[in-house]
């Protein structure tokens, strides 16, 4: 409480002290609501999540972002308003941005002699410029247990089991580059298996292979972009263990309709929000054969990158499909 309120509580009438306290609390609450509960009109902040070292001595850097809006989505082409330097502007970053916190969304690999250099991701939204600075400082060092803990898996009493966890094995059938017409469905088939960690992953267990998200991915220019999500533990309860799969728009206009409706992969903690982090955690049943079939319909022509995401409750893998859409 500030000094003026303290003096008032010492010398003023009790009702005045109470009234001042209520005004103070209302002001504080209103400020918090104003800062954190926008539907639209706010900017995006790129985020550097951390790094780990690969077996060949190189390093993987993880990036995500915070869209401060609960509803507004953005399409920001690679260029002056969306670039990573040095080496950019295009280094596989997203151009379609969903609401709220999207952690560990893509990775970049840097050489073993990267040293004390930095990568800088710049985003400009609503005339506001935000940057994320990526380095190999020890404070940013990650491992699989760190990621799983941030997701909430450690709250389920899994402990060191998360260190042995492997990324779900995800495969999208068919070509990685496809064509489609506006209004006509494009069939997408993806298969996912898991190693059974965290304990209780529902089904389709696969042998553990590899420890890097780069081992689970697409080819081509987007091959460097991999998906691993980490919502903050202070606001998100433990995520249920269970293999799931969902499709998102990674690049391209937002007007893509998926059938069946896909689970949100961004941090949405609101009740019944259709997200792995929204209570009551009703997860759609995984198909017995680990094969998910989805249809995508595009409302506008253009070039899109769609991404399949498979999660086991602690780690997440992604694979991209580029689609050229014509009328």
Per-residue pLDDT at 226: 34
- Smallest CA-to-CA distance from 276 within 267, 285, 288 is with 267
Per-residue pLDDT at 98: 95
Q: Do 143-326 and 44-139 fall under one CATH topology?
A: yes
pLDDT digits (tens, 9 = 90+) for 12-64: 445 444 555 454 454 454 444 444 578 999 999 999 999 999 999 999 999 99
Per-residue pLDDT at 314: 85
Q: How far apart are CA 19 and CA 40, in angstroms?
A: 33
Q: Where are the domains of the chain?
A: 3-36, 44-139, 143-326
Question: C-alpha distances in angstroms, 110 versus 53, 107, 118, 221, 315?
Answer: 10, 10, 10, 16, 22
- Return the DSSP state at 38: B
Per-residue pLDDT at 211: 38
pTM (two decimals): 0.76
pLDDT band at 132 (very low <50, low <70, confident <90, very high): very high
Query: Per mean pLDDT, which range of 31-35, 63-67, 130-134, 257-261 is the poorest?
Result: 31-35
Q: How far apart are CA 63 and CA 110, in angstroms?
A: 13
pLDDT digits (tens, 9 = 90+) for 183-228: 999 999 999 998 888 865 434 433 333 334 433 333 333 333 333 3
Please provide residue 296's backbone torsions phi and psi, each rounded to the nearest 5 degrees: -115, 135
| Fold category of 143-326 in CATH | Immunoglobulin-like (2.60.40)
Q: How far apart are CA 188 and CA 182, in angstroms?
A: 16
Please provide residue 63's backbone torsions phi and psi, each rounded to the nearest 5 degrees: -130, 155
Per-residue pLDDT at 147: 86
The helix or strand, by DSSP H or E, that contains position 109, with its residue range, turns out to be strand 100-110
pLDDT band at 312 (very low <50, low <70, confident <90, very high): confident
CATH number of 44-139: 2.60.40
| 320 vs 210: which has the higher pLDDT | 320
Mean pLDDT, rounded, for 66-80: 95
CB < 8 Å & 24+ apart, contacts of 57-61: 57/112, 58/109, 58/110, 58/111, 58/112, 59/109, 59/110, 59/111, 59/112, 59/114, 59/136, 60/107, 60/108, 60/109, 60/212, 60/213, 60/214, 61/107, 61/108, 61/109, 61/110, 61/119, 61/134
Per-residue pLDDT at 274: 87
Query: Per mean pLDDT, which range of 148-152, 174-178, 250-254 is the poorest?
Result: 148-152
The helix or strand, by DSSP H or E, that contains position 35, with its residue range, turns out to be helix 14-36
Q: What is the mean pLDDT of the chain?
A: 79
């Amino acid at each position: 409480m500030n000094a003026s309120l303290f003096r008032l509580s010492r010398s003023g009438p009790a009702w005045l002290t109470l009234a001042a306290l209520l005004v103070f609390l209302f002001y504080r609450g209103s400020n918090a609501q104003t800062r954190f509960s926008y539907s639209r009109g706010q900017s995006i902040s790129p985020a550097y999540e951390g790094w780990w070292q690969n077996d060949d001595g190189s390093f993987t850097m993880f990036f995500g972002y915070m869209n401060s809006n609960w509803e507004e989505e953005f399409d920001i082409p690679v260029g002056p308003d969306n670039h990573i330097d040095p080496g950019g502007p295009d280094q596989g970053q997203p151009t379609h941005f969903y609401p709220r916190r999207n952690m560990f969304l893509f990775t970049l690999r840097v050489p073993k002699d990267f040293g004390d250099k930095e990568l800088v991701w710049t985003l400009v939204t609503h005339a506001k410029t935000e940057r994320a600075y990526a380095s190999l400082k020890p404070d940013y060092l990650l491992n699989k247990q760190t990621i799983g803990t941030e997701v909430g898996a450690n709250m389920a009493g899994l402990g060191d089991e998360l260190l042995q966890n492997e990324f779900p094995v995800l495969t999208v059938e068919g070509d990685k580059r496809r064509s489609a017409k506006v209004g006509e469905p494009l069939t997408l088939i993806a298969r996912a298996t898991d190693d059974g960690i965290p304990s209780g992953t529902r089904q389709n267990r696969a042998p553990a292979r590899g420890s890097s998200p780069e081992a689970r991915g697409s080819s081509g220019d987007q091959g460097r972009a991999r998906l691993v999500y980490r919502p903050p533990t202070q606001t998100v309860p433990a995520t249920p263990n269970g293999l799931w799969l969902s499709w998102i728009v990674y690049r391209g206009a937002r007007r893509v309709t998926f059938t069946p409706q896909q689970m949100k992969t961004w941090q949405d903690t609101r009740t019944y929000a259709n997200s792995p982090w929204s209570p009551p955690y009703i997860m759609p049943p995984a198909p017995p054969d680990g094969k998910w079939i989805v249809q995508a319909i595009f409302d506008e022509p253009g070039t899109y990158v769609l991404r399949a995401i498979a999660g086991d409750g602690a780690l997440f893998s992604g694979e991209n499909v580029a689609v050229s859409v014509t009328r």
